[in-house]
Structure 1
């Protein structure tokens, strides 16, 4: 329960705002345009349509979406951080609530514009949840579970799952809606990739005359390894060391601040990392 104490008012507000954006995307863009979101949102819509055909009864989207997420939550709750799960479930619950509570309004009838702007709003909503140390739930639970606990990347399989959803929806109902849904999913994913930096990597090269002090300061805020190379500054012929490390992008600010506190004259070069192989410690979700 200690991790739940780390939840602050800003986390709750951020998740609530994100849920509102996600709900507006569903209520005013996805549903009117008959789009299929990625993951559990898409599964919910397909199950609702199939149940309506079979029984003539329409299950509210919010109830279906919440129910599937609860099942997934029960699968992963023992292995993932309690703060992460609590904030993720709050986002899911509020999204379900807002979808049922908010009135539906139409800004445009153009399906392309609805797919684009719906994707933008959903991407913003999911980004809020991720920035607040939560997630949008659904297949995020499964992907993060296997990535963090089983050390098996699942994001490519989630993509295949979403493709299968679109193919099924197109075959079962109408291909036109499935094709517009591709645009919705691509836009939403691009927005999330732009604003979510947990899995983006950066390398740091730090030139300092106080490598031990800088290293100790960095280890106070992260547990990533550091490689030290000794050298001489050519201009003043003074001892210098280069410290090299790879970190997650979201850790950069705290690491750079710790370096500057230990050595205000340190020279820091930061570069994006496309890919790494070998042992790398991913900071666990709280």
Structure 2
């Protein structure tokens, strides 16, 4: 009970910090450069600016963002996890609250600097949420849903979905802003690939004299089995065992050093895997 309370307290603190960081990014970079982030946030800002442009009415951020998150939140509750979704809802609500109360303050008006550094800060905020099993809402829910159902790295698809949002932004606010927004979203996606690797997979080929110990390690760390194959060295013609397994890319950081401790002479080949079909275990979000 105490351990759960402590974990949830840490999750709450990180989620609120991420919400504040994302809100500052919106008010200091995105709005200053007239850019459009991806997902529900981007759609929210598009709606705000269209209404302001054609009616002169400045509508608050929170109500629009909450409405656009209704379907993704439904996916979260039904397919991903209730506690995961609750903390994500806290992120959505807190982010909207902070955006509506934090005054806009431009750090720079250079659109390229805004696109690059705004994208980096946006990725850091999203990664903070993901690291404690939450999201910033919108397409993050859809991304995780596709990853769990299809077993593929779905982050590249987010960029494609966001392109549709940018087409709308380009029509109403000019293609220059839309193009800089594409840079913003691309930077966000690439930084996420670097910082958060749970939904990426790696294929491991391990040539070792201690295959049983290595297989046991893989199962304990990654909850995955492995396949054993017989091999023969081309130089000394000695029989070798090859351990083959596909694991989460984040688990390789633990596995590779641990394998070298078991067998310091082990030969390890780690290959990025673009898609996995079949029974691939992903840890539950709650």
- TM-score interval, normalised by the smaller of the two chains: 0.7 to 0.9
Deviation at 1:126, TM superposition (A): 1.1
Deviation at 1:270, TM superposition (A): 4.1
Structure 1 residues 183 and 104, CA gap change in structure 2 (3 angstroms): same
The corresponding residue for 2:174 is 174
Deviation at 1:155, TM superposition (A): 5.2
Tell me the equivalent position of 2:282. 283
Q: CA deviation at 1:188?
A: 1.7
Q: How many residues align?
A: 284
- 1:25-71 per-residue CA deviation (whole Å, 9 max, x = no partner) reads 11111112221111111110122233345654322113322332244
Aligned-residue offset at 1:181: 1.4
Shift in Å, 1:144: 2.2
- Larger mean Cα displacement after TM superposition, 193-202 or 208-217: 208-217
| Corresponding residue of 2:165 | 165
CA distance in 2, matches of 1:69, 1:121: 22
After superposition, the Cα gap between the structure-2 partners of 1:257 and 1:8, relative to the gap in structure 1 and judged at 3 Å, is farther
Q: Which residue of 2 aligns with 1:200?
A: 200
Tell me how far apart the structure 2 counterparts of residues 146 and 156 of structure 1 sit (CA, whole Å): 12
CA contact (8 A) 1:229 1:243 kept: yes
The alpha carbon displacement at 1:128 in A equals 1.5
In the TM superposition, what are the counterparts of 1:67-106 in structure 2 within 5 Å? 67-106=67-106
Mark the runs of 5 or more structure 1 residues left unpaired by the alignment.
Answer: none
Q: Decide whether the 8 Å contact of 1:39 with 1:138 is kept in 2.
A: yes
Asked if 2 retains the 8 angstrom alpha-carbon contact of 1:115 and 1:180, the reply is yes
In 2, Cα distance between equivalents of 1:229 and 1:148 = 29
SS in 1 for 2:137: coil
SS of match in other structure, 2:271: strand
For 1:147 and 1:6, the matched residues in 2 are separated by 28
Q: Distance in 2 between matches of 1:175 and 1:10?
A: 42
1:115 to 2:112 alignment: no
Partner of 1:223: 223
- 1:272 — aligned with what? 271
Cα–Cα, structure 1 residues 206 and 149, in superposed 2: closer, same or farther, change >3 Å? closer
1:253-264 pair list within 5 angstroms: 253-256=253-256, 259=259, 263=262
Assess if the C-alpha contact under 8 Å between 1:166 and 1:178 holds in 2.
Answer: yes
Q: Per-residue CA shift, 1:57-107, capped at 9, x if unaligned?
A: 322113322332244202431111234323322322222222123232222
Q: Bigger CA drift: 56-65 or 223-232?
A: 223-232
Task: Name the CA distance, whole Å, in 2 between partners of 1:169 and 1:162.
Answer: 11
TM-score with structure 1 length normalisation? 0.83
Q: CA offset at residue 238 of structure 1?
A: 8.2
Q: Indicate conservation of the 8 Å contact 1:6/1:83, yes or no.
A: no
Deviation at 1:131, TM superposition (A): 2.3
Task: Calculate the TM-score normalised by the size of structure 2.
Answer: 0.83
